[in-house]
Amino acid sequence: MGAAMTDEGPLVSVYMPTRNRVQSLAGAVESVIAQSYRNFELVVVNDASADETESYLRSKAEMDPRLVLISNRQPRGAAASRNIAIQKAKGAFVTGLDDDDRFLPGRISAFLGYWHLLTMQGLQPACLYAQDICIDDGIRHSVTSKRSSVTADQLLDYNYIGNQVFAPRQHFIDAGLFDANMPAWQDLDFLIRLLRRYGTAHLLDLPTYSFDVTMRPDRISVQAHKIRKAFEQIALKHGNHPGSRRSLFLQMFQQGYDLSPGVKDWFLFLSWKGFPKGVLRMLRASLRPPSVRPACSGDVLGDN
């Protein structure tokens, strides 16, 4: 794999894009620094922040050389910044962290141990994912109950994995990284490609990631026009038969998105001869009150 190795074990690269969130960024960075597994690098891409992000990161990098700072002169967006970090990464394995979330201290160590266990049993995972602790306005809200394994076809129904996985760096590269032209659903698009190339994703059934679901106006989950545009693009890529197109279409109306089916949506779905279960999901979405928070990945399976 071209892996960087030491006596401590393989080097793990953690990517983190950030823009104008220095207060939350500090907690995210510290959660990586505090990992029980010490052989890691944290590759942070400062996406042309206008606050104190750059000075904070430079100071941290001087104190801990495992923090690698990359600075974009112009904003590139989160997906492009992720790709920049992954391409720069030197680790045998790669995983990610958003700048308003947190790793629990044993996350990297647990992933490495589970990867070793599965491969010793003859399994070759496409990637690993874990349970999330959902934090709403600083208060623990819930813990996800994700399914034990996920295939590419299952992702057409719902993103059962979430937005951060652990895999060999080469898996990320071979899957084509994140599509920076997608207005939303970059994670879903990437994961479908990853699993189609490498097979099944496996769950590490431990909560190792603190996921901030606090509602903010800048969240893509509350920007309906971006969700609709993302569906159009992802349907061209992965909706190559009516069933997959219908399934992807229904994802627009899942709990956590401020988006309900309109008359045109109903006509379109019925023109595809939407199946009875899909019609029921459309009806639920039409009657459901607006969400007060983003859905925590994997905790709303009743609507999917």
pLDDT in tens, 105-161: 999 999 999 999 999 999 999 999 999 999 887 788 889 999 999 999 999 999 999
pLDDT at 217: 52
CATH number at residue 48: 3.90.550.10
- 158 and 287 share one domain: no
H and E: helices and strands count for the chain: 11, 12
**Domain stop point among 194, 212, 230:** 212
Is the residue at 304 inside a domain?
no
Q: Model pTM greater than 0.85?
A: yes
Q: For 159-197, how does the pLDDT look when each residue is reduced to its tens digit (9 = 90+)?
A: 999 999 999 999 999 999 999 999 999 999 999 999 999
Range 56-66 average pLDDT: 97
**Domain stop point among 177, 212, 247:** 212
Q: For 16-28, how does the pLDDT look when each residue is reduced to its tens digit (9 = 90+)?
A: 999 999 999 999 9
- 199 and 261 share one domain: no
Instruction: Give residues with Cβ within 8 angstroms of 254, minimum separation 6.
Output: 158, 285, 295, 300, 303, 304
Give residue 236's domain range: 220-295
List residues bridging with 17 in a β-sheet. 45
**Domain stop point among 212, 233, 248:** 212
Q: Could you write out the three-class secondary structure of 113-156? A: HHHHHHHHCCCCCCEEEEEEEEEECCEEEEECCCCCEECHHHHC
- Token pair, residue 77, equals 């967006």
Count of structural domains, the chain: 2
Is the residue at 301 inside a domain?
no
Give the integer Cα–Cα distance in Å for 82 and 98.
10
Least reliable range by pLDDT among 77-81, 192-196, 285-289: 285-289
Which residue matches tokens 């967006």? 77
Q: Indicate the helix (H) or strand (E) that contains 17.
A: strand 12-18
